[in-house]
Chains A and B, each alone.
Chain A
Amino acid sequence: MNQPAITKNKSKSPATATAKSVAMSVSDPTWVRWLLIGTTIGFMALLLLLPLGVIFWEALRRGAKVYVAALTERNALNAIKMTLLAAIIAVPLNTLFGLAAAWATTKYQYRGKSLLISLIDLPFAVSPIIAGLMYVLVFGLQGWLGPFLNSYGIQVIFAVPGVVLATLFVTFPFVARELIPLMQEQGSEEEWAAISLGASGWQTFWRVTLPNIKWGVLYGVLLCNARAMGEFGAVSVVSSNIRGRTNTIPLQIDALYNEYNTAAAFALASILAFLGVVTLCAKSLLEYRIESSRRRVNHSKEAETES
């Protein structure tokens, strides 16, 4: 009956003795809490942390010499180069695309806009294998554009351009997906203000829009990059696993593992895992930055209504 008063009390001064005992009655019993926390940690340890540890353990088990040798092997180096190349091309292009798409879907009104937003998500909905096959069908030697391009000596499928294209496709939505809700939330009043003050479109973008969305852009770039480096399925179909030429790190790991060359496979895998951990840390940091800047916006909105 006096429940509302209690919860109010709790939120105001959780440190007082009465509030503490009240908090107990409101929340779950202690054993339930510990059971849930324990289960979560147990699962994470078993399914995530243990395998991650095993990668580094296996990679370094036969000593640093073997590890370094596995990484500096010609095909391994080429795989690293391919992965970096794909990422270096795909990430900036998809960042540009993401900015354009977010701008087009949030600052203007037109028919078919929601269809466009749905289409951006296509790579999320389609299996990467299908994505790879699509490119083979279009650019392959038996495909629509393949013979035409081949007559000019351009090979797409089973070559570097195919790998880049497949990576572009699967990482296509990340930046746009991150920016669209952010820019929707911010609206376009600041842009209108800038334009009314005589700023050009370019000045408005660099001085007003970009500073407002920079953390969102970075976050999208990070996710995009992580996916670009880790992509297996689509790239596997279009690259046809030519070692030393079109193999990326994930493909090279797969090939080495299938040959029971575990030491080399795990050595390469450790690089990818390390990149993953770095991405995760950077992502957490960015999330914190975005959260605090969003809180600032909300604060200012509150102050607006209060003062």
Chain B
Amino acid sequence: MSVEIRNVNKTFGSYVALKNIQLNIETGELVALLGPSGSGKTTLLRIIAGMESPDPQRELNGDSDSATEPKVLFFGDDVASMSVGQRRVGFVFQHYALFKHMTVFENIAFGLRVQPRSTRPPKSEIQDRVHRLLNLIQLDGFGNRFPMQLSGGQRQRVALARALAIEPRVLLLDEPFGALDAKVRQSLREWLRRLHDELHTTTILVTHDQEEALEVSDRVVVMNQAAIEQVGTPEDVFHHPASEFVMDFLGAVNVFHGRFADSGLPANSDSTRIPDSTRIYVRPHEMRIERSRQSPDSIPAIIERINRAGVQGKVLLQSGTLGPIRVDIPLDQLDALDLKTGESVFVVPMNTRSFTSDYSI
């Protein structure tokens, strides 16, 4: 086990950033901490790095209980008393934080050159290592450039090489592609995954981009409101969301409020629909559009807008009782159906998930 987090709480004044976090990260794993801003994911990363410290345990009845003591373990060792530098983590910032006045070479060599004389590798070895890293990030020959002469994607690769130079025990990436545009982000994401498959450095990646998390990571930790909602493989969290939040956060979704009918679907007319706290979630791609009513589950709706720009066609419909509905269907099916805006059709959910709130209103 590379990183273990036990009973970690963090508050900033009256603001609760983390609530009783328990998390294990296996050696060689790439884990994504996924959540909206304010969910606590960056705070958790900074606590792992040692840039923040967890709140001390609240002592009950004057004695502390070791079972609830906050702990951060690296390979079994408690790192509470270790400084950021001693933890040997490679930290990559969203805005790169490259040293502006140093060349790419000097940036990457920094972590080696600041080591005390006793552990510092000889000059020739530093040279070798930096060149190998430059090769790894596909920036051979860029050693003499300054950060401002590089594109955003190149800078982030340099930042990654700089972090890797110290041979970190754990690599921590804080929204590493957040400042880049969609195209560069996509290619860097794939590159990062290939790099990880090559190096197998235990990596924790913080992101608010669900696509990024699902695409690169071995496991996803979905966070919301200072707590972990679900931990699982990308497939797991996408197809078997443990909560409404996870379902909602990991992609587009249609939400229907209503009663659980026998068919597992909300009854579709006002007379039979009894509002209660149950919400039914259907992903847009898990719905079908039909011209005629084929099943009792069909929801009558009127087409408001058809968008064909994309891999799939997006159809926005309005249903009288259930509100707006979005359906994603493959373009060939869309063509075959020959839908028109304003047309009345039926929408058939194929896969539904329902969640009942604990505190019904």
Contacts and interface: CB of A to CB of B under 8 A. Distances in A.
A and B part of one assembly: yes
Interface of A: 189-190, 192-200, 203, 207-208, 211-212, 296-297, 299-300, 303-307
Interface in B131-185: 147-148, 151-153, 155, 159, 162-163, 165-166, 179-181, 184
B49 interface: yes
B264 interface: no
B152 A197 contact: no
B182 to A, nearest CB: 12
B153 A197 contact: no
Contact of B114 (A203, A299, A303, A305): A203
Contacts of B100: 190, 212, 296-297, 300
A198 B151 contact: no
B181 A193 contact: no
By size class, the interface of chain B is 35 or more
A307 B151 contact: yes
B99 A196 contact: no
B85 A199 contact: yes
B95 interface: yes
Given A190-B99, A207-B114, A211-B101, A196 B148 contact: no
B63 to A, nearest CB: 31
Contact of A303 (B99, B115, B152): B152
Contacts of A303: 148, 151-152
User: Among the interface residues A190, A194, A197, A200, which one has the most CB atoms of the partner chain B within 10 A?
Assistant: A197
A198 B153 contact: no
B16 interface: no
A198 B90 CA distance: 10
Contacts of A203: 114
Contacts of A306: 152, 181
Contact of B111 (A189, A198, A305, A307): A198
B179 A189 contact: no
A105 B95 CA distance: 22
A208 B99 contact: yes
B48 to A, nearest CB: 11
Given A304-B152, A307-B180, A307-B181, A196 B147 contact: no
A48 B184 CA distance: 56
Contacts of A193: 91, 93, 97-99, 159, 162
A203 B148 CA distance: 23
Contact of B84 (A192, A211, A304, A307): A192
Interface string B73-90: 000000000011110111
A307 B84 CA distance: 31
Contact of A189 (B86, B97, B101, B181): B97
B84 to A, nearest CB: 5
Given A192-B84, A192-B97, A198-B114, A300 B148 contact: yes
A209 to B, nearest CB: 10
B333 to A, nearest CB: 38
A197 B181 contact: no
A189 B110 contact: no
Interface in B86-121: 86, 88-91, 93, 95-101, 110-111, 114-115
Listed residue (A198, A207, A296, A305) with the most chain B CB atoms within 10 angstroms of its CB: A198
Contacts of A307: 151-153, 180-181, 184
B51 interface: yes
Contact of B95 (A189, A200, A207, A208): A189
Contacts of A196: 49, 51, 84-85, 89-91, 163
A197 B148 contact: no
Nearest to A194: B110
Contacts of A192: 51, 84, 91, 93, 97
B151 A197 contact: no
Given A189-B95, A211-B101, A304-B95, A195 B148 contact: no
B85 A195 contact: yes
Contacts of B151: 303, 307
Contacts of B114: 194, 197-200, 203, 207
